[in-house]
Amino acid sequence: MNSIQEELKLKFQVAIAQALDTEGAETDPMLVPASNPQFGDYQSNVAMSLAKKVGKPPRAIAESIVQHLDLADLCEPPTIAGPGFINLTLKPAYLEAQLNAISRDDRLGVATTKHPLRAIVDFSSPNIAKEMHVGHLRSTIIGDCIARILEFRGQDVLRLNHVGDWGTQFGMLIAYLREKYPEALTTRDALDLGDLVEFYRQAKKRFDGDPAFQETARLEVVKLQSGVEESRFAWNLLCEQSRREFQQIYQLLDVRLDERGESFYNPLLPAVVEDLDQAGLLVEDAGAKCVFLEGFTNKAGEPLPLIVQKSDGGYNYATTDLAALRYRIQEDEAKRIIYITDAGQASHFAQVFQVARRAGWIPDDVELVHVPFGLVLGEDGRKVSTRAGESVRLKDLLEEAIARFRAYLEAKCIEDQREETAEFKAEVSKVVGISAVKYADLSQNRTSNYIFSYDKMLAPLGNTAPYMLYAYARIRSIGRKGQIDFDRLGNEAKVLLQDETELNLAKHLLQLSETINAVETDLLPNRLCQYLFELSQKFNQFYDRCPVLEAEAPVKTSRLLLCDLTARTLKLGLALLGIPVLERM
């Protein structure tokens, strides 16, 4: 079924066409939820936008549109305010009918897309031989949420983990281990990942200050690229070990990814350079092969080059990203390619996208999207780090959230004189701890930095995961208290809207579809978080004012249906954020 906003938009387009004798479908009705309840539920200011084009006063245009609007089954008679705002108020009977319809729909009225496309979401992307740290948090969580929403809408989604598993750093690490700990190159798990990370740091330090070691490392890269069996075996060992460590984090976060690292595209790099050369884009500069960019200049105002092959014959990250982009279009046949990285890489992707377009690789029906996000900051306003100034391990951060909620739950059980099993406490603490971290990230506008605070994210009140999970558990407790089987209320049960809080809750429940559609378009998960927070608030206002179990039929049944619809909406919305619900907390 169409969302309410989509239904109204279609009605408006017909009315505009009739009122102005134009192609109404080409005119955006500029219909949005009303910012203030005194203006009704939806508002259109299309009359103002048409005034200059039509050559009439906005109010006269609005009056003409209203005369042709056929909304008797949806709304009260439209009103015109100010210079030409058209205000709409939905009828309670229409709201009741819509709620009764979605109550029998597992998707709660959210339609699948009419035109499913192959979409690629590129996210997380840690580096082999390094531990995942707080810097990987946002890409992983935001990317997973976006993938979930696209999948729910019926898109064919490929979740790609573009891990850093190739390049100079491996030659450097293998050369260093060959000297210091050769067993790690022949024996599985000879080192813990933490030790491997420390060896990497030492190798990097040695590489930066020792020309002889630099040459040794480069020779190791050549052996690796040439497929020397011993080097490839060592490389595979290092990759497998890191992969297992990454998977522990992904399991904890309930994130699914298909790995396709930089090494996958390595055989394709020469063809990328050849393609760019044939397109007439390559310029040799100081021995390197470059594409000079349009709109990007250095301090002297000269065009910046994007180096695709270094003077020594090696390739850059940009070359790999170009190869990946070309492969995703030509082989994966993706129509929407979404990259989830920090805002600092915006320029890099703008350059890569430009070169790919100029090379003729991007068809008109392919959309490239860079989804940037801000930094995770500590409460001191600086990057989250350890006392030694290093990035906090993601595993430690997640385990700390779980431990903190476990301590809170233990204290709460003592305070309430409540006996719970160790298994119950462990499961609830894990769900709430991980969910709190996820929700705290997703509830922020992703383009902004945000302050990481355990106290705020674990708070039972406010726009937090615990508040959402408590709201869901509270509804389920209503069912237990009244011995209500929500699944057996029956198809004859109907929603009846009488109280103002019931109407407010109903209107919000029916905005789920347009909220999900908006996130699918603008890729801003905080929209869904805000929707769920407001839903929880409106439910609590309804529940505080309207007796449920104490009411008489048919009001009792109606209010039970509202409770059930709220719980199901919370469960679905939270699932799209990657957050499971708890029947009891």
Q: What is the CATH number of the domain that holds 57?
A: 3.30.1360.70
Q: How is residue 394 written in tokens?
A: 């993601």
User: Does residue 547 lie in a domain region?
Assistant: no
Alpha-carbon span 183 to 174, nearest angstrom: 11
Alpha-carbon span 223 to 172, nearest angstrom: 12
Tell whether 73 and 125 lie within a shared domain: no
Alpha-carbon span 372 to 374, nearest angstrom: 7
Strand order in the sheet with 282-285: 282-285, 288-297, 303-309
pTM for this one? 0.93
Residue indicated by tokens 């040459």: 215
User: Does residue 351 lie in a domain region?
Assistant: yes
Nearest to 31 by CA among 41, 20, 19: 41
Cis peptide before 554 (omega within 30 of 0): yes
Amino acid identity, position 576: L
User: Does residue 145 lie in a domain region?
Assistant: yes
CA torsion 221→222→225→228, rounded to 10°?
Answer: -100
Tell whether 11 and 142 lie within a shared domain: no
Tell whether 373 and 268 lie within a shared domain: yes
| Residue where a domain stops, chosen among 328, 356, 377 | 377
Tell whether 331 and 348 lie within a shared domain: yes
User: Does residue 417 lie in a domain region?
Assistant: no
Per-residue CA distances from 381 to 203, 212, 299 (Å): 32, 41, 31
Tell whether 275 and 339 lie within a shared domain: yes
Return the pLDDT at 389: 59
Return the pLDDT at 205: 92
| Residue where a domain stops, chosen among 331, 360, 377 | 377
pLDDT tens, position by position, 144-177? 999 999 999 999 999 999 999 998 888 899 999 9
Amino acid identity, position 558: S
Return the pLDDT at 387: 58
Buried b (16+ CB within 10 A) or exposed e, 323-357: bbbbbbbeeeebbbbbbbbebeeeebbebbbbbbe
For 399, counting Cβ atoms within 10 Å of its Cβ (0-12 exposed, 13-18 middle, 19+ buried), the class is middle
Q: The domain that contains 122 carries what CATH number?
A: 3.40.50.620
Per-residue CA distances from 23 to 19, 86, 226, 257 (Å): 10, 20, 62, 45
Tell whether 242 and 345 lie within a shared domain: no
User: Does residue 356 lie in a domain region?
Assistant: yes
Alpha-carbon span 82 to 189, nearest angstrom: 72
Alpha-carbon span 324 to 321, nearest angstrom: 5
Which contacts (CB < 8 Å, 24+ apart) does range 515-524 have? 516/110, 516/149, 516/152, 516/153, 516/576, 517/3, 517/153, 519/146, 519/149, 520/149, 520/150, 520/153, 523/146, 523/338, 523/369, 523/371, 524/445, 524/446
Q: Which residues contact 171 (CB under 8 A, 6 or more apart)?
A: 217, 218, 219, 220, 221, 222, 224
**383: DSSP letter:** B
Residue range(s) defining the domain that contains residue 349: 118-159+264-377
Query: What are the DSSP calls for 192-233, one per residue?
Result: -HHHHHHHHHHHHHHHHH-HHHHHHHHHHHHHHHTT-HHHHH
User: Does residue 229 lie in a domain region?
Assistant: yes
Query: What are the DSSP calls for 106-125, one per residue?
Result: TTTT-PPPSS--EEEEE---
Tell whether 142 and 214 lie within a shared domain: no
Alpha-carbon span 198 to 191, nearest angstrom: 10
User: Does residue 533 lie in a domain region?
Assistant: no
Residue indicated by tokens 């192609």: 23
Element spanning 140, H or E: helix 137-152
Tell whether 125 and 185 lie within a shared domain: no
Tell whether 236 and 285 lie within a shared domain: no
Return the pLDDT at 513: 95
Tell whether 269 and 365 lie within a shared domain: yes
Return the pLDDT at 23: 60
Residue indicated by tokens 């003409």: 64
User: Does residue 324 lie in a domain region?
Assistant: yes
Per-residue CA distances from 13 to 20, 65, 73, 159, 503 (Å): 11, 9, 17, 37, 27
Three-class secondary structure of residue 32 per DSSP: strand
Domain count, the chain: 3
Return the pLDDT at 307: 95
Per-residue CA distances from 329 to 148, 359, 361, 365 (Å): 22, 13, 8, 11
Q: How is residue 67 written in tokens?
A: 């005369």
| Residue where a domain stops, chosen among 329, 348, 377 | 377
Q: Are 20 and 51 in contact (CB under 8 A)?
A: no
Tell whether 181 and 244 lie within a shared domain: yes
Tell whether 273 and 367 lie within a shared domain: yes
pLDDT tens, position by position, 98-153? 999 999 899 999 999 999 999 999 999 999 888 898 889 999 999 999 999 999 99
Q: How is residue 304 written in tokens?
A: 């910046």
Return the pLDDT at 227: 86
Task: Give the dihedral sign, CA 274/275/277/278.
Answer: positive
Q: Please give the average pLDDT of every successive group of 10 residues along the chain, which has 585 residues.
A: 86 90 73 87 92 89 93 94 94 95 93 95 93 92 98 98 91 92 89 83 91 91 87 92 92 97 94 96 93 90 91 89 98 98 96 97 97 92 69 91 97 94 96 98 95 94 96 94 84 89 96 96 98 97 95 93 96 98 95
Residue indicated by tokens 């798990």: 189
